[in-house]
Amino acid sequence: MRIRMHVNPTQLHFTRFRGERPPLDGRLVEVEIGCADAQFLFERAAVDSSRLYVGLEIREDFTLLVNKRAKRDGLPVHAVFCHAQLHVKEVFAAGGVERVYVNFPDPWFKRRHHVRRMVDPALADQIAHALRPGGELFFQTDVWAIALDAMATFDADERFVNASGEWSFWKQGNPYGVRSWREQNAEETGLAIWRIMYRRA
Ligand SMILES: C[S@@+](CC[C@H](N)C(=O)[O-])C[C@H]1O[C@@H](n2cnc3c(N)ncnc32)[C@H](O)[C@@H]1O
């Protein structure tokens, strides 16, 4: 299947929620926002299959591929076609999520594409709704401007507490023992990665 490289999230087409909700049944839930092929979630599911791993993704073709693979391999991974800044609240009840990952969020690092960036106060509000008190938000990117944007967004929101101290990056690396496709690529090509860890207040 050919999958588009990028879609423009500002298109009206993405405004209405048309995804399929995951089977929320009391298992602890981990969410990756912008999951693409969900490599990260499939690897998490292989480490701990007792949880449910939900990927939110604006490219619908990816969600079809992910759900097909999850079904074939019997893994608790579920991708939902949606626009994360608008639809997290449509998918999860307040406090229903244990952990949120924002891994290498987007290709929109040029100034003129600023409006298309994924991490903004609207996304922070959606995540704050979904995360349980004490729940974790882990952010990582190889693009400095996007790292600064994310820190400015989450540190300015009192619902998130920076685990490394205010306005500080997380220096202990990725603590989950699994890597997203983009993370693997960045590490193998020697790119710097900036990470930030928050707890929901
Ligand atoms: C650079 S890729 C990274 C994929 C994966 N997280 C990784 O680390 O390999 C960013 C992903 O976020 C998705 N995305 C961008 N904006 C989004 C939005 N508003 N809602 C949901 N997904 C979005 C893109 O389609 C793309 O698949």
> Domain residue spans in the chain?
28-200
Sheet holding 131-141, edge to edge: 77-81, 52-57, 29-33, 97-103, 131-141, 194-200, 160-162
Q: For residue 85, what is the enclosing H or E element? A: helix 84-91
pTM strictly above 0.85: yes
Instruction: Point out the residues that are catalytic.
Output: 106
> Can you tell me whether residue 142 is helix, strand or coil?
coil
- Give the mutation target among 43, 60, 118, 179 for probing the ligand 1 site: most ligand atoms within 8 A of CB: 118
Q: Are 141 and 109 in contact (CB under 8 A)?
A: no
pLDDT at 163: 98
Nearest CA to ligand 1 atom 23: 34
CA of 125 to the centre of ligand 1 (A): 18
Express each pLDDT in 148-175 by its tens digit.
999 999 999 999 999 999 999 999 999 9
pLDDT at 197: 98
Radius of gyration of the chain measured on its C-alpha atoms: 16
**52-66 mean pLDDT:** 96
**49-56 mean pLDDT:** 98
pLDDT at 42: 98
Q: Report the chain's mean pLDDT, rounded to a whole number.
A: 93
Q: With CA atoms as reference, report the closest residue to 137 among 108, 157, 116.
A: 157
CA 188 to chain centre: 21
Q: How confident is the model at residue 65 (pLDDT cuts 50, 70, 90)?
A: very high
Relative to the CA of 184, which ligand 1 atom is closest? 9
Nearest CA to ligand 1 atom 5: 35
Asked whether residue 176 carries a pLDDT value surpassing 70, the answer given is yes
pLDDT at 11: 75
pLDDT at 8: 73
Relative to the CA of 86, which ligand 1 atom is closest? 19
Q: How confident is the model at residue 109 (pLDDT cuts 50, 70, 90)?
A: low
Any residues with CB less than 8 A from the CB of 65 and at least 6 apart, and which? 1, 3, 37
pLDDT at 15: 85
CA of 107 to the centre of ligand 1 (A): 8
**129-153 mean pLDDT:** 96
Pick the CATH number of 28-200 from 3.40.50.1370, 3.40.630.30, 3.30.420.40, 3.40.50.150: 3.40.50.150
The residue ranking higher by pLDDT, 175 or 107, is 175
pLDDT at 115: 62
CA of 48 to the centre of ligand 1 (A): 23
Q: With CA atoms as reference, report the closest residue to 138 among 186, 185, 94, 193.
A: 193
> Between vectors from CA 184 to CA 156 and to CA 126, what angle results, nearest 5°?
30
Q: Are 21 and 63 in contact (CB under 8 A)?
A: no
105-109, 111-115, 172-176: lowest mean pLDDT where?
111-115
Alpha carbons 82 and 60: distance in angstroms, whole number:
8
Asked whether residue 178 carries a pLDDT value surpassing 70, the answer given is yes
